[in-house]
Amino acid sequence: MNASDAARPPGSVAAAVDVLAGAVAQAVSGAGRAFRLGEAVGGWADPVVGLGAVRVLGADALAPFLFTGRPPSASDVEVVRAALRVFPAPHREDPGDARVWRCRDWALGEVLAHLGVSEPGSNQAAALNSGGEGGSAGESAWPVWSAAVSRLSMLALPAVGGPVREQVRRRRRDTWRGLARAMLRHDHLSAARLARWLALDAAVSSESLLGAALSHLELFTAPPPRVRLEIALARRLWEGG
């Protein structure tokens, strides 16, 4: 996306997601002025697409607040609440998709709580999560398991714990295998997501490979905004976010 694209108000949720992901990636990387979620999505002609973008990015939309320690303003929080009202979690027949949504909402609740914002309902989701959400793919072979945890990268934030994070700590070799597999298959989104998981608890076992993997993704992939966001989050975590 170039500068003129970014300046043009997005006409669809997908385009809005790209714009917001770009803004969050920039903020997480420490570039630009202080991030304000309300400002990032508030100036668009159709406010609904902005809310949709917030819903899609979920907890990641609040990542700049986690990393900078600057709390969200009331209007930032209101944007999140409005997004949850306008776009409740969809019903998904596919258990994998349903699980992703449950985890997405749980992560959002955890991040809001960490930022000092309490949301009704988040406890219930947390109970669901701790009740075994991490277990459904927990014992699968590494290709299946790593693909599943890659889809749950929104849980790879400093404020979020839980069983999936514990699994990744325990199955670090498998996470690495998933990352290498994704790189070889040019599946850059999955690679970036798994790099993010590895970066989250890099102190557990510091691998120099991770820096090489991140640089490779940054320099070789010309990533679209959502991949760029995953890479930026991984880089921030790796460098001591």
Partner 1 sequence: MNTASVGPARLVCSRALGWLSRARWGFALPEGVTAAQIPVQALKSVAELGLTMSLVDREAVAGAKDAQAAGQLAEFAWGQLDGGSLLYRRQLDDPASSFPMEVYASFVRAGYRHRPLAALCAHLVGLRVARVRELAPHDQLAVVAAARQLGLPAPVDPLVLVERTWLGGQPEPWMLDAAAAYALTHTVFHLTDFGADPGGLPQELQEYLHLWMPVWVDVVTETKAWDLLAELLIVDACLTTPQTYPQAWEHLAQAQYPDGMLPHGTTRAPRDPEKAFRNHYHPTLVAVIAGTLAVSRSVGARV
Footprint on this chain of partner 1 (rule: CB under 8 A): 142-143, 173, 176-177, 179-181, 183-185, 209, 212-213, 216
Q: Given the structure tokens 């760029």, which residue do they identify?
A: 228
Q: Minimal distance in Å, beta carbon 173 to partner 1?
A: 6
Q: Minimal distance in Å, beta carbon 33 to partner 1?
A: 36
Indicate the residue among 23 and 214 with the shorter CB distance to partner 1: 214
Q: Are 49 and 15 in contact (CB under 8 A)?
A: yes
Indicate the residue among 24 and 191 with the shorter CB distance to partner 1: 191
The CA dihedral of 202, 25, 213, 161, to the nearest 10 degrees, is: 30
Distance CA 226, CA 170 (A): 27
Indicate the residue among 106 and 145 with the shorter CB distance to partner 1: 145
Distance CA 192, CA 234 (A): 7
Indicate the residue among 10 and 178 with the shorter CB distance to partner 1: 178
Q: Minimal distance in Å, beta carbon 179 to partner 1?
A: 8
Indicate the residue among 84 and 217 with the shorter CB distance to partner 1: 217
Distance CA 198, CA 107 (A): 18
Q: Minimal distance in Å, beta carbon 60 to partner 1?
A: 25
Helix 225-238 vs helix 188-200: crossing angle, to nearest 10: 20
Q: Minimal distance in Å, beta carbon 218 to partner 1?
A: 14
Q: Minimal distance in Å, beta carbon 66 to partner 1?
A: 29
Helix ranges (DSSP H) in 61-138: 63-68, 74-86, 95-114, 122-130
Indicate the residue among 8 and 173 with the shorter CB distance to partner 1: 173
Residue of 162, 152, 197 lying closest to 179 (CA atoms): 197
Indicate the residue among 74 and 144 with the shorter CB distance to partner 1: 144
Distance CA 177, CA 171 (A): 10
Q: Minimal distance in Å, beta carbon 190 to partner 1?
A: 12
- Cα separations in angstroms, 92 against 39, 56, 100, 103, 131: 31, 15, 10, 13, 20
- Cα separations in angstroms, 163 against 82, 100, 160: 29, 14, 10
